[in-house]
Homo-oligomer: A and B are copies of this chain.
Amino acid sequence: MPVTIKDVARAAGVSPATVSRTLATPELVHADTRRRVQQAVDALGYKPNRAARGLITGRTGNLGLIVPDLTNPFFPGVVKGVQTRARESDYAVFLADTDEDPSAEADVVRNLSKQVDGIILCSPRMSEEELRSLTGETPIVMLNRRVGRMPSVTVNSADGIRQAVAHLTALGHRRIAYVPGPKLSWSNRERVRALRQHTAAAGVELVEVGNVAPQFAGGVAAADQVLATGVTAVLGYNDLVALGMLSRFAARGVAVPERISVMGFDDIVLSEMVNPSLTTLAQPKEQTGRAGVDLLLQLLADPERAFSRRELESHLMVRNSTGPAPTP
């Protein structure tokens, strides 16, 4: 028996309409009435039922967030950013973790679409057509991926990679390896593209080893291959992969960074907790989440501007897995 608008109306001796106005457009109601209503609201602890409101206004005050795998340390930061920003604008957040299953993602979008004003979707692998078909269901903002004219938040990996390549060449490296993540991942493709471009420009040789799972185990598996190529520096698709290599190198007694320099992407918290700590390209995770919400709210306020993008910058976090170990 939660308290409804009628209860408040009765308590304040006004009509439900007046209560509604007091809450939505206080300036349209007489100060005295407003006060009485407000008192009743407080006394009864009335909170409007958002679902009921949404039914008529078409606005739910909710938004959806879909991520492929929350246990990948990259995502909690993004989720947190979304969450925080959403709460600032009084939005609640539906979260779905799809276990890296692109088909689940589409389902989730469809299931959620009626209950949210829009969805923030982090789906690096779903096919473009499917993605586009979802756009009809509800407004969608893509995270870390650009497809067609869909609104998106991405990071400028080209510039980050320029920084990384510059860093490594400055240290004297002339042959560097890249351990790619999932073939279909948009981020991975971007990174490969940028790496080819910037290594070529710098006159440095790029050795691409085989794709691995974007996880610690993937890095462990790739480490020996990397060593066999004889490079003096290696970039992993993400920090987990890089940490896996670090671990395997340690097990084999390969000195980092003396024998080989190691870099990752993301700057997940772990990267500074290991020893040697991992040099990495920091992605603005919470900011990405916040920007996603910003974009979505913008879109809702002004649906004309259906096409709008936000590109964030990443920056190099130099730690001691590259170059000479710092003297303490």
A280-312 interface mask toward B, CB cutoff 8 Å, 1 = contact, 0 = none? 000000000000000000000000000000000
Known: A95-B79, A97-B84. A269 touches B55 (CB 8 A): no
> How many A residues are at the interface, by size bracket?
35 or more
Which residues of B have CB within 8 Å of A170? none
Task: Check B273 against A247 for contact (C-beta < 8 Å).
Answer: yes
Surface stretch bound by B, among A17-25, A43-51, A152-160, A196-204: A43-51
Give chain B nearest CB distance to A47 CB in angstroms.
Answer: 6
Task: Check B50 against A115 for contact (C-beta < 8 Å).
Answer: yes
Give chain B nearest CB distance to A27 CB in angstroms.
Answer: 25
Contact of A247 among B73, B94, B275 (CB under 8 A): B275
Task: Check A49 against B114 for contact (C-beta < 8 Å).
Answer: yes
Task: Check A75 against B73 for contact (C-beta < 8 Å).
Answer: no
Q: Assembly of this chain: how many copies?
A: 2
Bound Cα distance A76, B112 (Å): 21
Give chain B nearest CB distance to A292 CB in angstroms.
Answer: 15
Bound Cα distance A80, B69 (Å): 8
Give chain B nearest CB distance to A301 CB in angstroms.
Answer: 20
Which residues of B have CB within 8 Å of A243? 273
Task: Check B83 against A77 for contact (C-beta < 8 Å).
Answer: no
Cβ contacts A to B, 27 pairs, < 8 Å: A2-B113, A2-B114, A47-B111, A47-B113, A47-B114, A49-B55, A49-B115, A50-B114, A51-B54, A51-B55, A51-B114, A51-B115, A55-B55, A62-B94, A65-B95, A71-B77, A73-B76, A83-B96, A84-B97, A84-B99, A92-B94, A92-B115, A94-B95, A95-B95, A216-B273, A244-B273, A273-B274
